[in-house]
Structure 1
Amino acid sequence: MKKLLYGSVVALTATAAAVLGAGPGVATGSDGDSGGRGSAGSSAAAGDHAAYVYRIADGAKLPPAQLATFDLLEDRDGNDLFVLGDARTAATLKDAGLKATLEQRMAAAPKESPKRSGQAPHLTRKVAEETYYGGYRTVNAQYAHLDKVAQDHADLATVVDFGDSWRKSSGAQNGYDLKAICLTKKGDGDCELKPGSTKPRFLVQAQVHARELTTGEMAYRWIDHLVNGYGKDETVTKLLDSREIWVVPIGNPDGVDMVQQGFMGGSSGLQWHRKSANDTGSPSGGCAENSFSGDGIDLNRNNFSHWGGPGTSSDPCNQTFKGLSSESEVENKALHGLYRNLFPDTRAEGDGTAADAGTKGMFVTMHSYSNMVLFPWGAGQSTGNDAALRAMGKEMATLAGGWEYGQPGEILYEVSGSHDDSLYDDLGVPSFTWEVGPSGGTCGGFHPKYTCQDGFWDQVKPMLTYAAEKAEAPYGS
């Protein structure tokens, strides 16, 4: 049995202990993750902002609808699934008839001095030094870094503003642009937003789920690895001479801003924010912000492909809230606009229809955690390109040092409305989700210490290099 260590294990609160001792439905000793609905006025225990991890015995065998109200973690142990919640979640699990055990209580991280909320008016080199929680870059630091790279490497880098966040599009003062960077040894026509590029394109996006801190750091390091290695590293030089490599370091800047504020003087519950900032569907008074509840839409459940299917929720406070309609969110509209401007359509309709053998391009969306490589479809049958996707997934997993790989329903749980499903569905480009970081140990979970990032980078760098190389002929021999 896998023993998961997401953070500091602390004594149970009286609330959880009382429920755990009340009957056989929930017991101590294991690991999981849950998230039911919570209103803004509710709390697990006075002053307790900790997160709790629960193990759901044989959760993978249960109908997806039975787990739809819970915040499933990106982890699986055999057929056991895991749920993130608070002390109150023990009662919710018991009431749902689920066999659950409580493994851990994770205390909120210590607070730091607050920094601005919203995009800085001037993305200076000083702004590029902003960090929180021991070294993670703020949204403004990520964006200032893009500008700095483009200034210092004008022959290699172009920054593109491809849309606005929900806050900015709504006129709020604390919103953000949506930004990407194109990296290549620039020639005529390179980095244009047209799908007919002469160079094959590889697109990486990160931090769509705001609380998954590691992913933005991996994107940051990938950018630096490429521009600093050009002309020095043979592999990097060859890639930038022959490919366009696009990076969206922050896919959900409003959400990441909320997480930053949780670490820097705001509510500790915001440290666990996963979704966008769009609260238009929330109940009066808003949703409780904690480890299993929050305002916003899950951008990785809001995309058009199989929208509303398994692994999504209709509850606005649930962490997997699908939104009120398919691709309703401005961030996703902008991301799909970017996809369609980068890649031509090479796949006809139909879940079993394969993309053309001559398709060019690759797409990776980074999430955390559990050391997994996932590919479409997120729920149900295999794609028409399953053999090729599976072979690439296996190679990526091997390069990482032995990650798991497969469709989400095979090795994790079913997912609908995801970015990788929708890009593949729409355009036929091979698309993958990487769950970066272990589920256990001192570097496990959504908020590993920044010192863990060197080890993650050693795994992710060869995977990114391989994916970029495959962009020329991903379905070819």
Structure 2
Amino acid sequence: MAAAAAVLLVLTLGGQAGAAQPGGPQVYEVTGAATAQQRTEVARTGADILDAEGATTTVIANPGEAAQLRALGYGVKSLGKVNRPQGTATVEDFPAGYTGYHTYAETQTELQKTVANYPALAKLGSAGTSYEGRALSLIKISDNVATDENEPEVLFTCNQHAREHLTTEMCLHIVQRLTSGYATDPAIKRLVDSTEIWVIPSVNPDGSEYDISGGTFHSWRKNRQGPGTDTNRNWGYKWGCCGGSSGSTSSETYRGTAAFSAPETRAVSNWVNSRVVGGVQQIKTHIDFHTYSELVLWPFGYTYADTAPGMTAAEAQKFQTLGKQMAATNGYTPEQSSDLYITDGSVNDWMWATHKIWSFTFEMYPKGSSPGFYPRDTQIVPQTTRNDQAVDILINAAITG
């Protein structure tokens, strides 16, 4: 990735109200990490990898992590500080050029409208409550939505990482498409009639609201519990096992004090556990949407091995086949999570190891660091509709088994 592209990321993050904290996080261009093992070494300092192209990796890191990277022999060039507000800033709206994105309140309004417009298809509930008390809204879509039918279930989760606002739009688009298209699209009707579909548009609403506080972006990743926990390093399977997360509270990949110490991951995991009926997990397939890099990823993330305890060669092959089928429809790159770098405590590893749910991560648009986490709202429609076929493939996989 060219340095100019990474500089654009910094300009997107900063330059508005609120100065960066002294000694706080910065964006760095790191050179010399060309392999998954080397990128894992970079990540093990606690740096948050944003993008990787060839031997160049872009990260957000604090000064101590940057010093570790230099000591390991990597080239480290600062591209600018990340703008983070001091104290608590008020939530306003997205900046100009981004107002097509939905705030938390606007997301709730959209979900409520869906239920009002399609009461026979949609039912709104909650998986639990965030650290700051926001509902982790959960919408169910099915032809007999008020009944818990004996049908395969599908789960879509979005916005685990606060700054990844395009993912909330992805979940809202899934909801809108499956409800508004039901009466006129036979393919949609078949999918909805044959399954129970669950959508959580924001797993991390507190962090998402903080990220746009004051009407500007802050590149905030974690939840808002104390120093913030990276919710996608806080899941219970292989939590903190393998150098794929950080124990430092200042790190962007801080895994929390214990598995499920974040109220958000604890609530969502408990809800998934509750879908075990008669000893059988009803949820069969799952996508957790993230940005960015245009990837389709599957377990395991904690090990480079394709197979490991709890993953047979046949199961690994099925993950690959399904992942490649979905990627063929949206132009993303399909690969095992650890082909990028090792992560532990991730949602996909937990979903599969605990419940044998065919769980994938989609890293959405863009492919590189420009425009990074903050594409203009003109990209919402093309980038969400881009995944329509992949979503249908995943739902169909739950039906066919």
Counterpart position of 2:15 = none
Identity %: 25
Counterpart position of 2:238 = 306
Equivalents in 2 of 1:69, 1:368: separation in Å? 22
Classify the secondary structure of the residue corresponding to 1:331: helix
Aligned-pair CA distance for 1:97: 3.1
Equivalents in 1 of 2:10, 2:246: separation in Å? 31
Equivalents in 1 of 2:381, 2:39: separation in Å? 39
C-alpha distance 311-79 of structure 1, shift in aligned 2 (>3 A) = farther
Equivalents in 2 of 1:116, 1:9: separation in Å? 22
C-alpha distance 2-202 of structure 1, shift in aligned 2 (>3 A) = farther
Query: Is this contact kept in 1: 2:45–2:68, CA < 8 A?
Result: no
Query: Is this contact kept in 1: 2:194–2:399, CA < 8 A?
Result: no
Matched, 1:340 2:340: no
Aligned-pair CA distance for 1:346: 6.0
Counterpart position of 2:60 = 84
Counterpart position of 1:34 = none
The structure carrying a bigger strand percent of its residues is 2
RMSD (Å) for aligned C-alpha atoms: 3.0
Equivalents in 1 of 2:251, 2:147: separation in Å? 44
The one of 98, 101, 106 equivalent to 1:141 is: 106
Counterpart position of 1:247 = 199
Higher alpha-carbon Rg: 1
Aligned-pair CA distance for 1:68: 2.0
Counterpart position of 2:183 = 231
Q: TM-score, normalised by structure 2?
A: 0.84
Aligned-pair CA distance for 1:248: 0.1
Equivalents in 1 of 2:153, 2:208: separation in Å? 27
Counterpart position of 1:58 = 33
The structure carrying a bigger helix percent of its residues is 2
Matched, 1:218 2:170: yes
C-alpha distance 395-3 of structure 1, shift in aligned 2 (>3 A) = farther
Q: Which runs of 5+ in 1 are unaligned?
A: 12-39, 118-129, 169-175, 191-196, 280-294, 348-358
C-alpha distance 450-106 of structure 1, shift in aligned 2 (>3 A) = farther
Aligned-pair CA distance for 1:440: 2.5
Query: Is this contact kept in 2: 1:70–1:83, CA < 8 A?
Result: no
Query: Is this contact kept in 2: 1:373–1:406, CA < 8 A?
Result: yes
Paired letter, 2:184: K
Counterpart position of 2:257 = 324
Classify the secondary structure of the residue corresponding to 1:261: coil
Q: Which runs of 5+ in 2 are unaligned?
A: 12-19
Paired letter, 1:397: A
Matched, 1:71 2:71: no
Aligned-pair CA distance for 1:408: 1.6
Q: Pick 1 or 2: higher relative contact order, CA cutoff 8 A, min separation 6.
A: 2
Query: Is this contact kept in 1: 2:94–2:215, CA < 8 A?
Result: no
Counterpart position of 2:73 = 98
Classify the secondary structure of the residue corresponding to 1:216: helix
Aligned-pair CA distance for 1:305: 0.7
The one of 35, 42, 45 equivalent to 2:22 is: 42
Classify the secondary structure of the residue corresponding to 1:98: coil
Classify the secondary structure of the residue corresponding to 2:139: strand
Q: How many residues align?
A: 377
Counterpart position of 2:139 = 181
Counterpart position of 1:5 = 5
Query: Is this contact kept in 1: 2:43–2:245, CA < 8 A?
Result: no
C-alpha distance 426-406 of structure 1, shift in aligned 2 (>3 A) = same
Counterpart position of 1:205 = 157
Q: TM-score, normalised by structure 1?
A: 0.72
Q: What are the Cα deviations for residues 116-157 of structure 1, in whole angstroms up to 9, with x where unaligned?
A: 58xxxxxxxxxxxx7553321101111121111111110000
Aligned-pair CA distance for 1:96: 2.8
